Amino acid sequence: MTEATSVFDRFTELAKRALAASREAAASLGNDYVGTEHQLIGLAEAAGTASEVLRAHGAEPAGLRAETTRQFEAYVQAHGDPVPRGQVAKDALSWLGIDVAEIQRRAGETFGPGALKYPRAHYSGRAKMVLQSSFRQARELGKQQVDTEHLLLGILETQGSATRVLAALGVDTQALRQSVLDRAT
């Protein structure tokens, strides 16, 4: 192997697809960040051990999406709309005299609609913790690469929006964790 090792080499193909699905889940729910709740939806929607175990415990993609939306709306009710980072970013550039919409329009003309993504959804602090935890989970289970089950273990270890969604759906997270471990060893 001549190529430099990149962070992507630390994930299996299925895990990479699940992470891509979580980014899409965030976008389709209208969120401009990737949180643990989107990682959970991505894992449920993509193929892999995590998806199978989640379904076996009654956590289907549709149910996860509905509950995630419900909790987000409840948050907005209580705290107001989170500041739209995308607008703040565009305002900062417009202050410099840069018209992002125009740049995106020209990029779209040449390379197709939506070719220039800006601003890109960023990972929440907890979503980053999930990734770090998944590296540790894989290592402890003696695996070279992080697979979907390690990401799911990371989510279960990192208390956050995802574990709140699972709790609201009546999923027994202890039993879920045990099922993952049974499959992962």
What does the block give as tokens for 116? 């220039």
- Interaction mask 105-124, another protein, x per CB under 8 A: --x---x---xxxxxx----
| Among positions 58, 66, 70, 84, the unique one binding another protein when judged by CB under 8 A | 84
| Closest distance to another protein from the beta carbon of 116 (Å) | 6
Q: Is 27 in the site for another protein (CB under 8 A)?
A: no
Q: Could you give the C-alpha distances from 140 to 144, 150, 161, 183, in angstroms and in order?
A: 10, 10, 25, 14
Task: Give the separation between CA 144 and CA 106, rounded to whole angstroms.
Answer: 43
Q: Could you give the C-alpha distances from 14 to 29, 48, 65, 67, in angstroms and in order?
A: 22, 6, 20, 25
Q: Which residues of 66-91 are buried (b: 16+ CB within 10 A; e: fewer)?
A: ebbeeebeeeeeeeeeeeeeeeeebe
Pick the closer one to another protein by CB: 68 or 148. Answer: 148
Q: Is 89 in the site for another protein (CB under 8 A)?
A: yes
**Binding-site size, another protein (CB under 8 A):** 33
| Among positions 29, 100, 141, 181, the unique one binding another protein when judged by CB under 8 A | 100
Residues that bind another protein in the complex, under the rule CB under 8 A: 2-4, 6-9, 11, 16, 20, 83-84, 87-96, 98, 100, 103, 107, 111, 115-120
